[in-house]
Every structure is written in C-alpha cells, then in structure tokens.
Structure 1
C-alpha cells in the first residue's frame, strides 16, 4: 500500500531567506535532516534530493515535471522544452500509455485519486475544448478513475486543511484501503505565484499534515515529492531550477534506491507495488 502525496512547487534552497530556513516546520525538518542537500536514511525514513530540470535549459514546469514523475519518461526531452501547467496532446498520450494510474489499474490494483473538486469546477474541466486537467488528474481520468466532488465521502481537501493533523490521519486511514492512493496538493505553488505572504501558513499546514500521518502509524508507505521548485523562494513569483525533495515514510523506506531525478520515482513505485502483490 502506497500513498503518493504530490506537493506542487516545493523545491529545496539553502538561502537563509527561504521559508525552509525561516520557519520551524519541526516534522519535516526532523525527517529531512533540516532539508539537507544530500540523501539520508533513518529507520522508516528515506530522503532523496531530485533534479527537476530534466536535462533542459529554462525553468521546469508542472506539465512536464508531473508527467515525468508519473511515467518515468523524460517528458521535457520528448517535447524539447518544459511545458505547463496542463499537458498537451503528446504528454496526454504518454500519460494514457505509461502513467502509474493506468499501469496500476491494468494490474487490478485498488487506486484512488482522493482530491475533492467543486462541482462547478468539474463541469468546467469536462466542458472545455482544451485540456485543463493537471497531469495527475488527466492520468486519473485516463485510468478510468472518478474525479470526486467535494461532497463525496471519499474526497479530501487537497489543501487549506482546517485541521491538518486530522487530514493527515484521514489520509493514512484511506491508504490502508487502497493499493495506490493519490493526493495532489497545489497550495504551495498557488500561494507562491499569487499570495506569497501566506506561504508560511501553507508550509505549516503541510508539516502538520505529515505529523498527522505519522501519529496514525499506518502500515502503508507515504511518498512525498514535487515537480519543481517555487515556494522555497518567495521573494519572486517564478519557478526555480532548484532540486526537489523526495521523502518516503514507512515500510517502503528501506527499498528506496539512490535516486537522481524525477525520472527515478515511477520505476520505484512500480517495483514496490509489484513486490507487494
């Protein structure tokens, strides 16, 4: 059982102005060695630092970064540039063929995309002539998964949790009912672009969410990672070329190999889920 907590726009920075250095964030700081610049392992914990540039110049973007995470294929190299935020036709084809969601459903695994959406937003997504889905949502639909309205009992708020620890505990409980569970948290990237003055709240929510997961002590493994940097440098509103963290908590932590980039995540997830069958 593996729960994939995707955090949009979370990079790593050693700059003393960074929220990673300014804020307490006790849970994440303890698990990552203070957001260390190199990999580390501890009992039940694996931490890796992943390159998000995918070998291309320019600023990494969500469409190509998320597609790389979900497929293990270099989506940016395929296009010859970084693309975001909504995958175009070539990335859509890649997600239909190779995404973790499609792969897992084909193997008969229990898969849930836990994000809750406003019903009017779902209607807008479905009614648009061009793709407005993120790579995670597009892959879910491609796999035949349902996008859940917020009032569905299975749905979770993707961010802005009133009680972050309770949300983390709930996510842990849901992980025990699924082989592969996804939650796409976009609040750091959103706030970094539009309301950087609220980033401290968003980082604190994430820290408390992870604390709630740990306090629930589930048998499932939690994977937390990102597609590109952004929120770690709130003194501007652009993406960054910084690496991103990968944090694995639980039984699967002992199986995490050395990793170099976003491309290494999907192959490991497939190995873990195949081994658990």
Structure 2
C-alpha cells in the first residue's frame, strides 16, 4: 500500500468566473470545486477538502512557508511571524532538517522517494535558492532521482511532465507525453511507501496572468491525472493532491490569493484521511499516520 502525493504549486479554490479562473473557463473533472459552488463530482470518486493555507498569520500565503508546513506539519508562518515567498530561510531550513516527513518516514522504517528528476547543476545553487521539497528530501538519506540515469531509464519524471524544459536547457532527454510521465510515476509509487511529485508551473502561470498558457498547463494536468488514476490501484493505494497557496485560480491579479487550497483524495481510506485535514499543516501528520 502506497501513498502518492502530488503537490501542485499555487492552486486555490476560486470563484466560478470564466474571465479570471482557468478552472471555470476550462472545466476539469479533477478540479470542480468553486467558492459556494460545485460543478459536479470529482472523477474517480475523489473527495475535495477545502484546506486553509493561512496558518493563522495575516497576509498572503507564500511558497516557502506553505511548502515547509506541508512537508513538516510545523506552522512555519508562525515560526517566522510572517509568510515567506520563494525558497526557505535559515529558520525554515532548520525546521525541514528536523521535521521533514522524509526523515520521519525513514526513521520509522518506511521507503520514500521524490519522483522529480534533477540535474547535477541544480545542487550547485546557493542554499538560499534551493526549494523546500529538496531540503525535505535532504533531511533523509533517500537518494535524489537524476536525469542520468533515472530520467533516461524511465525512473523519474520532469517537472513539466514532458521534459521540454530540460531539452530547452540543452539536456539530451526524450520528450514525453503527460500520459507517459503518469505511467512512470505510478511505477515509482508502487516501489515505495510514500512518493512525492512536485508540479510548479501553475504558480508561474498565475503570476504571468496568461489565460492561454493556463489552458495548456491545465490540459497537461488533466491528461496526467487521468492516467495516474486509471493506472494506480485505488483499492490499495491513496492519492493525495494538494497545494501551498492560491494563485492560478485568479488571473485578474499577479499575486497569490487568500483562497483555501484543494486537498483532493482518491483511493484507500480517503474518507478517514479527509477527516484529519483542515489546515495545510495537517497534511504531514496525516501522511505519517496513514
């Protein structure tokens, strides 16, 4: 039995407004919930739990604090007395090093992995430019999946689901479809107790306010999720999709939003898991208790 966590950066539950919300303009079977309105059931008998990303701190929720909370269960915004954007501060890195779900899963004898493919040059970045997800894995001894050999061997996936970004960066990698990446992710998840995949282009689109680009990314996500959920055994596994803050759901502004984020659950024991989720800092503890 595995738990697959699909972290999609910067998606909130917004208004049913086709002029500003891509989820309203390009209806998706996986994101049918809007403020005060539902467009129908979630595909594959999924369950949506509106989840508070504010952590009780004023201001717009941000990536570094939100992701740290998701990956540790610690109210990181209160630890800083503010929301923090981008990459983790020294304080947040310390929280991730001590409280990471990867570290705790390892200590409990579980196997965990991060399915995203990395290039060697990523790890030459300054520490202030390393993501929360990366710091979370670094807290453990679980290895990262690299372009070579894992991505080339079909044992890792690119963050954009197609490897187009890596190809444009000059890496010799195969261009894949979202469906193929989904099949790879399901195979990876089957080999461990916990698997994380991170998709952050939704947040980039939200800041760009480009509706045409939003349509492209949402189509990729729909195709990806359709394949993941049709290939994984939902009688034996749990799929968890969540986010750190709103953004993509309101292209009328270039900033993040105050909207709740969707935690969407499919598969084994989803109802019991859903009952434990109220704020984003509830996610990590629920994973550890699954």
Q: What is the alpha-carbon distance in structure 2 between the residues aligned to residue 152 and residue 35 of structure 1?
A: 39
Give the TM-score normalised by structure 2: 0.84
Q: Indicate yes or no: 2:196 matched with 1:182.
A: yes
Bigger Cα displacement from structure 2, 159-168 vs 227-236 = 159-168
How many residues get paired? Answer: 263
Name the residue aligned to 1:168: 182
8 A contact 1:167–1:212 mirrored in 2: no
8 A contact 1:116–1:156 mirrored in 2: yes
RMSD value, Cα = 2.1
Name the residue aligned to 2:87: 86
List per-residue Cα deviations over 1:130-173 (Å, max 9, x = no partner): 33211111110111232332233232112243411222222122
Aligned mate of 1:263, from 246, 256, 281: 281
Give the TM-score normalised by structure 1: 0.88
Q: What is the alpha-carbon distance in structure 1 between the residues aligned to residue 92 and residue 115 of structure 2?
A: 22
Query: Aligned in 2, Cα 1:233/1:195: closer, same or farther, shift over 3 Å?
Result: closer
Name the residue aligned to 2:222: 207
8 A contact 2:73–2:283 mirrored in 1: yes
Q: What is the alpha-carbon distance in structure 1 between the residues aligned to residue 77 and residue 122 of structure 2?
A: 28
Deviation at 1:195, TM superposition (A): 6.6
Question: Where do residues 130-149 of structure 1 align in structure 2 (5 Å cutoff)?
Answer: 130-149=127-146
Q: What is the alpha-carbon distance in structure 2 between the residues aligned to residue 160 and residue 178 of structure 1?
A: 21
Runs of 4+ in 1 over 6 A off after TM superposition: 38-43
Name the residue aligned to 2:30: 28
Name the residue aligned to 1:60: 61
Tell me, what secondary structure is at the counterpart of 2:179? Answer: helix
Deviation at 1:116, TM superposition (A): 0.8
Q: What is the alpha-carbon distance in structure 2 between the residues aligned to residue 188 and residue 78 of structure 1?
A: 27
Query: Aligned in 2, Cα 1:42/1:165: closer, same or farther, shift over 3 Å?
Result: closer
Q: Structure 1 unaligned segments of length 5 or more: list them.
A: 273-277
Tell me, what secondary structure is at the counterpart of 2:129? Answer: coil
Query: Aligned in 2, Cα 1:42/1:19: closer, same or farther, shift over 3 Å?
Result: closer
8 A contact 1:48–1:258 mirrored in 2: no
Query: Aligned in 2, Cα 1:260/1:208: closer, same or farther, shift over 3 Å?
Result: same
Tell me, what secondary structure is at the counterpart of 2:283? Answer: helix
Question: Where do residues 37-52 of structure 1 align in structure 2 (5 Å cutoff)?
Answer: 37=35, 45-52=46-53
8 A contact 1:165–1:208 mirrored in 2: yes
Q: What is the alpha-carbon distance in structure 1 between the residues aligned to residue 204 and residue 250 of structure 2?
A: 13
